[in-house]
Amino acid sequence: MSNPDPSHTAPAPLAGVRVIELARILAGPWAGQLLADLGADVIKIEHPQGGDDTRRWGPPFVTGADGENLSAAYYHSANRGKRSITLDIASAEGARTARDLIATADAVIENFKVGGLKKYGLDYDSLKAANPRLVYCSITGFGQTGPYAPRAGYDFIIQAMAGMMSITGEPGREPQKAGVAISDIFTGLYSVIAIQAALRHAEKTGEGQMIDMALFDTQAGILGNQNLNYLVSGEAPVQMGNAHMNIAPYEVFPVSDGHVIIAVGNDGQFQRFCKLLGAGAMAADPDFQTNPSRVAHRERLRTEIIAAMSRFTKAGMLAACEANAVPAGPINTIAEMFDDPQAIARGMQMELTDQAGTGIPSVRAPIILPASPLNYDRPSPRLGEHTDDVLEELERLKSTRKKT
């Protein structure tokens, strides 16, 4: 799958934008991958000895047709569509080459510690003189300012410090992180938004800027309604398992052969839910007539719902809810998700073929732009796969600039 409509030949939205990625692990590479999906030419600079750390973060590893280790699945989750060049930026020659590349670019993504690139002349202040339009996105754990700015940032620690773990998990049990690195991934997404906005500013004014992205800020910001629950009430939200602080019934319930999710969002849905359960008394109970009342009496409500649902199977419950317009859903494994007819219809799973004919699994970006489809022409690169091509291209660009 190269794009949802192979007959459509319009360029991807960011075609012509050139990005240099000096980032590794997840947040920065996630931003770079989405920019590549959107059509940007993303050149990933990696250290000659091993490259991005996630190349070794396995098993599982992707194996080439000839048995070659093509890096860990983790690496491939965040590096589709890029070109890889190996440079040792700690050397004078490597740093000079990186600066020359950045002089030809529209944007840079880096996730070094605060001030970590200054000694190589690869910080924003050093680079903007040669490229005033440069958009420079720095991704760190805690940002460029504040008492924690010098600290390294790790998603797990950020989820803990920024409140996420305090509201995740069962009441009275050990706090839990999310099952994926959401601080990293959301920071990558917000970085793409910021880069696009800064590119628009540069287009209008001719002036670039430095973007200051912090995992801590992102994780704090995406707590959404839970933030406002605290700021309005003065009471910090706590772990509630799968229950919802503001809505009931809105959680996981057992049935005769497993569990399903019931997500009743308004009073009409609740009345229809009671009807399909054959629970007339529950429908008429004054404690359950409105959502605030149901939240106030959620424990008794849950007990009565469990009793009424015990005669249903998963399939029977979900079918009854769908027939009565009551929001409900199964709890799929990742394998079941990919096998779901909806995921298949939406083309979420892809396979991209590299130059050696190896098919590498991938997952489409959750963006469909019919007039300017995203670009899925290239899988994650081998370490240094494009070094010669990029350096030859750089020499041509430098030669052209000298002539003009």
Q: What is the pLDDT of residues 113-140, one digit of tens each?
A: 999 999 999 999 999 999 999 999 999 9
Neighbours of 203 (CB within 10 A): 10
> How far is residue 362's CA from residue 380's CA, in Å, rounded to a whole number?
9
Among 184, 212, 217, 354, the active-site one is 184
Q: State which of 332, 359, 378 marks the end of a domain.
A: 332
Query: How does 68-101 read in b/e, with b if 16+ C-beta sit within 10 Å?
Result: eebbbbbbbbbbbbbbbbbbbbeeeebbebbbeb
Domain count, the chain: 2
Q: Is residue 42 part of a domain?
A: yes
* CATH number, residue 263: 3.30.1540.10
Q: Global pTM?
A: 0.94
Nearest Cα neighbor of 135 from 214, 39, 199, 206 is: 199
Do 327 and 359 reside in the same domain of the chain?
no
Is residue 211's pLDDT more than 90? Answer: yes
Domain enclosing residue 285, as ranges: 250-332
Is residue 6's pLDDT more than 80? Answer: no
Rounded mean pLDDT of 85-94?
A: 97
Is residue 20's pLDDT more than 90? Answer: yes
**100 assigned to active site:** no
Is residue 5's pLDDT more than 70? Answer: no
Q: Is residue 235 part of a domain?
A: no
Any idea which of 8-12, 66-70, 152-156, 219-223 has the lowest mean pLDDT? 8-12
> How far is residue 321's CA from residue 262's CA, in Å, rounded to a whole number?
9
Q: What is the pLDDT of residues 267-284, one digit of tens each?
A: 999 999 999 999 999 999
328: CB partners within 8 A, 6+ apart: 260, 261, 262, 263, 317, 318, 321, 322
Do 185 and 304 reside in the same domain of the chain?
no
Rounded mean pLDDT of 203-231?
A: 98
Rounded mean pLDDT of 168-190?
A: 97
Split at pLDDT 50, 70, 90, the class of 8 is: low
DSSP state of 287: G
Nearest Cα neighbor of 43 from 13, 9, 81, 71 is: 81
Split at pLDDT 50, 70, 90, the class of 371 is: very high
Strand pairing partners for 31?
none
